Amino acid sequence: MPAKLRRLSGREIVAIFQRFGFSLFSARGSHVKLRRITDEGEKQTVVVPLHDELDRGTLRAIFRQALRFIPETELRRHFYTA
């Protein structure tokens, strides 16, 4: 059976990214920017809406956006069921 995308809130997504070293950078309305700076000085930013439950398309978009910075093997277990 293929892995299924979890139903997550914006706050749950923020907590996931904080485990990977991201911190709150700015907020505007219901959206927050999370940022981390690598040892090489590269700024890595992810935008997350703080909704109670995110649509599946939004979750997939955030997942794909984060794959630029975090290996899929580490990130997938937080977004998908086993």
* Tens-digit pLDDT profile for residues 41-66: 999 999 999 999 999 999 999 999 99
CATH architecture of 10-72: 2-Layer Sandwich (3.30)
Nearest-CA neighbor of 35 among 48, 47, 23, 51? 23
Q: Which of the four pLDDT bands, split at 50, 70 and 90, describes residue 72? A: very high
Query: What does the pLDDT average to over 15-27?
Result: 96
> Taking the model in full, what pTM does it have?
0.90
pLDDT greater at residue 34 or residue 2: 34
Return the structure tokens found at 44.
């890595």
Residues 6+ apart with CB under 8 A from 62: 13, 46, 47, 48, 54
CA dist., res. 40 & res. 60, Å (int): 28
Query: In the prediction, which pLDDT does 2 show?
Result: 80
Greatest extent of the chain over all pairs of C-alpha atoms, in Å: 41
CA dist., res. 12 & res. 62, Å (int): 12
